Amino acid sequence: MAVPFIEIKNVFKIFTSHKQEFEVLKGINLDIEKGDIFGIVGFSGAGKSTLIRCINGLETISSGSIRVGKYQINKLAKKDVNIYRQKIGMVFQHFNLFDSRTVYGNVSFPLEIATKKKEEIHNRVLKILDLVGIVNKKDFYPGQLSGGQKQRVGIARALANHPSILLSDEATSALDPVTSMSVLDLLKDINKKLGLTIILITHSLDVVKYTCKNMAVLENGIIAEKGSVKKIFENPQSTTAKVFIKHNAHLSNPYLSGEEVC
């Protein structure tokens, strides 16, 4: 088998606060293929955000190794960290848009810091705003947008500088089901059109079922289960997955019924 695009090997993350040590990730092993939409689910505090933040170096891992494409994250020189991050997009639950910039300015930000030429920035921003379907709002400030529109800007901003991966930490949790669906559709669309690898953290199995190809279940800093979404939904092994799926049965989302697992 070819080497996977993202290779996470025996990753440990220990936080120290008030002289106390908290082991949040306890030996994570994951391989993620190029072009996958990979879901990570787990209860609150399982370590999902921490794991995804280790992938783009917002947290440094305590031991183990993470490789993304040709980059060995844990061995990256300080000056290369920013160059590496410029190629990884991240989308946040609370959008984290810059209120001081218009929609256009938010999306041009990653291109500005990558010191692209003005004209190139202009063309790229318009193209990406068009892709996420929000080009008519380009001169609006974030304060004038709905949650769904904000997240489209968040996604556009993450995509602007041609990233090879998109990390999404609960990108749809603050949105209503319909808006959430449309944002997920957008992610699927981008995945197909650009061949972008997406890692998607969520609390909602509906989201995973609707969007992802493969998934992992995180339980207290350990991967309890991983594999294709289909396999895990049909035959869940871990407690977390079982509980999630059981709860899911009566929380089923009307918009998702009849949807095929991808």
Ligand X SMILES: Nc1ncnc2c1ncn2[C@@H]1O[C@H](COP(=O)(O)OP(=O)(O)OP(=O)(O)O)[C@@H](O)[C@H]1O
Per rule CB under 6 A, is residue 48 in the interface with ligand X? yes
Nearest Cα neighbor of 205 from 242, 165, 235, 169 is 242
Please choose which of ligand X, Mg ion, other proteins, none residue 255 contacts, taking the beta carbon within 5 to 8 angstroms, the exact cut-off set by kind: none
Do the strands 63-68 and 214-219 form a parallel or antiparallel pair, or are they unpaired?
unpaired
Beta bridge partners of 135: none
- For residue 52, with 0-12 CB atoms within 10 Å meaning exposed, 13-18 middle and 19 or more buried, which class applies? buried
Please choose which of other proteins, ligand X, Mg ion, none residue 178 contacts, taking the beta carbon within 5 to 8 angstroms, the exact cut-off set by kind: none
Q: Cα(first)–Cα(last) distance of the chain, in Å? A: 22
What is the chain's Cα-based Rg? 18
**Tokens describing residue 60:** 């440094």
Per rule CB under 6 A, is residue 15 in the interface with ligand X? yes
Query: Which of 49, 108, 151, 211 is close enough to bind Mg ion by CB under 5 A?
Result: 49
CB of 99 to other proteins, least distance (A): 5
Using the minimum distance from each CB to other proteins, give the nearer residue, 139 or 234.
Answer: 139
Query: Which of 86, 164, 220, 228 is close enough to bind other proteins by CB under 8 A?
Result: 86
**Tokens describing residue 152:** 């489209």
Query: Which of 1, 18, 44, 117 is close enough to bind ligand X by CB under 6 A?
Result: 44
CB of 255 to Mg ion, least distance (A): 24
Per rule CB under 6 A, is residue 14 in the interface with ligand X? no
Beta bridge partners of 67: 7, 72
User: Backbone phi, then psi, for 252, in 5-degree steps?
Assistant: -60, 145
Using the minimum distance from each CB to other proteins, give the nearer residue, 101 or 122.
Answer: 101
Q: Considering only the stretches 37-45, 90-98, 198-206, 225-233, report the one whose residues sit in contact with other proteins under the rule CB under 8 A.
A: 90-98
CB of 150 to other proteins, least distance (A): 12
CA separation for the pair 232, 207 (Å, rounded): 14
Per rule CB under 8 A, is residue 210 in the interface with other proteins? no
CA quadruple 129, 54, 45, 171: dihedral, nearest 10 = 10
Query: Which of 5, 12, 43, 141 is close enough to bind other proteins by CB under 8 A?
Result: 141
Please choose which of Mg ion, other proteins, ligand X, none residue 157 contacts, taking the beta carbon within 5 to 8 angstroms, the exact cut-off set by kind: other proteins
Longest dimension (CA), the chain: 53
The residue with tokens 């992610």 is 187
Q: Which residues bind other proteins (CB under 8 A)?
A: 56, 58, 81-90, 92, 94, 96-101, 109-110, 112-114, 141-144, 157-158, 161, 167
Q: Which residues bind Mg ion (CB under 5 A)?
A: 49
